[in-house]
Amino acid sequence: MPPQLCIAMAPGDGIGPEIMDATLEVFKAAGVLERVEFIPVSMGRGEFEKGNTRGIAPEAIRRVEECGLLFKGPMETPKGGGGKSINVTARKLWNAYANLRHFRTLPGVQTVYTKAGIPVNFYIVRENIEDTYGGIEQRLSADVIQNKRLVSAPASDEVHRFAFSTATRLGLGKVHCGHKANIMKMTDGLFLERFRAVAAGFPGIETGDVIIDALCMNLVMRPQQYDLVVLPNLQGDIVSDLAAGLVGGLGFAPSANIGKHISIFEAVHGTAPDIAGKGVANPTALVLSGLMMLRHIGLLRAAAVIENALLAALEAGVRTGDFGNAAEPALGTRDFARAVVERFGSAPMTVKPVPVPEQDGLAFERPARPAAQPLIRSIGEVASRVAGCDLYLDTTMPPAELAKALEALAAGMPLRLTVISNRGTQVWPTGSVFTELVDCHCARFEAAEGGVASGGGGAGVTQQQVLALAGAVASKFTVSAYELLRTFGGVRGYSLAQGQ
């Protein structure tokens, strides 16, 4: 019978091709290649070297979209400069909005926790599209660069719904939301607020929220208190690596990037340039990522057979050089894969084996390609009113002098200067002489009559009036960024400067 399903497969850079070969050898032995055709596609360093700044060949894009599934090895990201991370590009291009990672103690993989008898077994769901990963950055002055961190309600809803439905599917009792809403009250505040809204639809699951710094400490001190933690993008990225450290390192951390149409499966680790080409890399994380993919498409039996064999091999002390008992010989990548295949039909004894179903049934239907870019909305229409603007000015003028100049420029206009801040700290009309200034100030103008910040519910101003003010200020200063300040449903839609 010819394969019924295609999966685009990009081996990746560095150790990628070595661990991908080993993984596919394991899959082949389990009969996966009879059901699924892996179609090699070109992504990564080779594409960048050809001058393709996206790092993904056009044919690869077509294939991935046709298959709806991508199995990928790690890919090198050019540091600094213009080249964007291909991994981030792939997740965003195909809207793989939730990143699921599983961290658990594996037999044969000694860690401080296994030695202490503390079991580790939890999941992280990371928002995958937004946050600082938007990579929206602008230089505002010689010394200052900004990153625009966008967080949206619908994307937060999608990732929280995925977290709760995953917890339901896996029979997990608790879902926590990690955040920094005490500081980023609006962005992380929204992420947390949507978590609570989505949680209301899953009354059978215990929920909680935890500030990211406390989460890091708790994970190190008592990792067993968490089942699944859902996090914004950057925080999720950092906590994932911390979690990988709890279970023996990056070699054991698999991940799935789940989207409505296209899902991407890859290990958490990178290209490991220090050991690339030596045939010594640990393929476990990629094999485990492959198992998440096999389960995603319904090949539950093949996944169970491979997982039990892998666990049995690890339990028997089979290891690559990056882990295990150094007194035992380490195997190369290929031999490690063979040792797993040799154990097909075996099950681990020190941990619960995975139940092996009677048979496999492919259960993957790629949703139809959208006819146009879907618009996702959560909150819908809210009455908004213009309240003023923030103008970022490339200037070294001292705040009091700057205020005088700006007040002169705004004379006769329906907006008044209320605050000048520097990197978010108020420096005018009051401030501390200890606040160091950099060469970019933010001047906040608010509606002169009954502006929101002054506590009133006055008439507000129009956007045209705000832009006219910006134009007047631009006649004397470089306005390097502009933000419209609005109220939504009567609630201030902007943060106050520190000290305001």
Q: Which residue has the tokens 């037999």?
A: 107
Measure the CA–CA gap between 122 and 131, rounded to whole angstroms: 23
The residue among 499, 308, 266 whose CA lies nearest residue 399 is: 499
The answer to whether 187 contacts ligand NAI (rule: CB under 6 A) is no
The answer to whether 271 contacts ligand NAI (rule: CB under 6 A) is yes
- In the complex, what is the shortest distance from the CB of residue 1 to ligand NAI, in angstroms, rounded to a whole number? 34
The residue among 29, 61, 80, 69 whose CA lies nearest residue 289 is: 69
Binder among 25, 127, 322, 390 for ligand NAI (CB under 6 A): 322
Binder among 74, 178, 232, 414 for ligand NAI (CB under 6 A): 74
Binding mask 196-235 for ligand NAI (x = CB under 6 A): ----------------------------------------
Binder among 269, 319, 338, 444 for ligand NAI (CB under 6 A): 269
The alpha carbon dihedral of 98, 355, 241, 328 has a sign of negative
The answer to whether 275 contacts ligand NAI (rule: CB under 6 A) is yes
Binder among 166, 187, 240, 282 for ligand NAI (CB under 6 A): 282
The answer to whether 87 contacts ligand NAI (rule: CB under 6 A) is yes
The residue among 41, 69, 38 whose CA lies nearest residue 55 is: 41
The residue among 77, 102, 79, 80 whose CA lies nearest residue 88 is: 77
- For residue 235, give every residue at least 6 positions away whose Cβ sits within 8 Å of its Cβ, in sequence order, or none: 178, 179, 180, 212
* Segment 3 to 62, residues that bind ligand NAI, using CB under 6 A: 15, 19
- The nearer residue to ligand NAI, 128 or 166, going by C-beta atoms, is 128
The answer to whether 263 contacts ligand NAI (rule: CB under 6 A) is no
The answer to whether 77 contacts ligand NAI (rule: CB under 6 A) is yes
Binder among 131, 157, 158, 266 for ligand NAI (CB under 6 A): 266
Q: Which stretch binds ligand NAI (CB under 6 A): 202-210, 266-274, 305-313, 483-491?
A: 266-274
- In the complex, what is the shortest distance from the CB of residue 343 to ligand NAI, in angstroms, rounded to a whole number? 20
Enter the tokens of residue 126.
Answer: 């990371």
The alpha carbon dihedral of 308, 311, 317, 323 has a sign of positive
The answer to whether 156 contacts ligand NAI (rule: CB under 6 A) is no
Check if the beta carbon of residue 143 is closer than 8 Å to that of residue 440: yes
By DSSP bridging, strand 5-10 and strand 36-40 are parallel
The one-letter code for the residue type at 161 is R
Check if the beta carbon of residue 265 is closer than 8 Å to that of residue 293: yes
- The nearer residue to ligand NAI, 271 or 418, going by C-beta atoms, is 271
Per CB under 6 A, residues contacting ligand NAI are 15, 19, 74-77, 87, 250-251, 266, 269-275, 281-282, 285, 322
